[in-house]
Structure 1
Amino acid sequence: MTSESILLVARDTRNAREVLGEHADRLRRRGVVDDVEVATYESEPVRELREQFERVAADTVYAVPMCAAHTHETTDDVPAALSYVPGNVRYCEPLGGSPAVTEVIEARGEELLPASEDVSLILVGFGSSAKPYHRQTVDYHAARLREQSAYREVLPCYLLQNPAVECVRYNATGSRSVAVPLFLSRTEATERRIPAELELDRGGIEYADPLGEHPRITDAVHAEVAKQRALAPVDAATDASFETRLTRSRRPVATDGEGRR
């Protein structure tokens, strides 16, 4: 009988270990797989995670990047680090694209300002000048929230691209606004940069917590693992998923001192 494990992978931000630990505990209690592990890194996934990954004993490992959308790290460095896992790696999509996240965003906003015709909902993403993934993710949730919520409007904004966070205050037409950061855990961006650029001290904008330990995030991880199980026969063929192709093509190279032994 083959064994299965879930590997939750994330950058080690201010409370990332606590957040990932809570989701891991829930998944263990559900008996989704035989084991659930947490892996965090500061800046170099290959160097920092190699030894931990070499010790993963399961036959099949579902590696879940615990972030809103793909970054350079999740498309290059993390897949390279996963090459050290002895078993069969099923690399999952970042959890931010799950429909369950839409519910968490709405819940975070409702905790501070109930949806109404005079309240604007602001979605704050990290953004990227080179990759489309963050914008795609934020736009996806914004479109769903415009359809299913009672907010006057839903406005996306970003730290690294337009529309910029510092401008969204002037774009909102509601008399009050609530901003939800589309981040899993607390970071320097959520604690300092975003509040400063939103000018929270001026009033008029409530600022919600990141997605964090919300139970629906655990559901999102669970659903992604179930999806990967269902897709396994398809990915064995030539039309593999984007994430599967990443784990097949990304490898540490000898020139950076991290090549496979």
Structure 2
Amino acid sequence: MSLANKSIIASALLGVSFASHAITPIDTSADPKEGFSGSVGLGLKGKSGGKDEQEYNISLLGRHVAGERTLLLVTDYNYGETNDKKDEDDLFLHTRWIQNNFFRPSLDLEMFAQYQYDKFDDLESRKLAGSGVRWRFKSEDDAGVLNTTFGAGGFVEEEESESTGETESNWRGNFYGKWVWDRKGNFPFKLYGRLYVQPVLDDLGDVRATGNGGIQFSITDTIALSFDAEVEYDSEPFDEADSTNTEYGVKLSYAF
């Protein structure tokens, strides 16, 4: 590894040490290779003095590709303490099975399941399972490649409140759009974004939405630095939860 690359990685690590909360990974690969591949990220943040703070994050995006079939796993875990008192503990776990070109070319079938909790946003657990279809589009010119995906479907979910033990079950629609622009040239990078809108089917005023995106720079063939932001909105959260949450941060990841 060159001295220049070592210097860049050292600077990146310093940036990660001062990062805010981590963001759930986005799969930016349009044409993943056969077999196993993915990326893993690790974030650390600390502060000492009048107030001692420690925050830890680990995220994993793994996939297995066999012909037209892809199995995707996304995990993200955050833990934090201030003055030896836990003030952050949340987990996101999502798995998705995709059959490309199931209905016709570029029109795919998806099936997915998800589990998550956030102890400090009044979410004891959220469990869901569903399916849908997605449309893939690709355009390319001398500047780069733009991959766009639109999805539609539905799922059944069960949520439990941390503070009251209240449980809610709903059928929700699932509508999303994702785009990744892979810039070519002497200064390549990836610019990406994603938006999910999930209304309750028998009460369209009860809507949950998530939007996130960022920019990723390759430091080496396997190490990348990304700057990300995410906004989550729930029109009818549990009593002790906020309706809107915003996160942002820097992430260093290793691809395999």
Question: Would you tell me which structure has more helix in proportion to its own residues?
Answer: 1
Query: TM-score w.r.t. structure 2 length?
Result: 0.29
Question: Would you tell me which structure has more strand in proportion to its own residues?
Answer: 2
Higher relative contact order (CA 8 A, sep 6+): 1
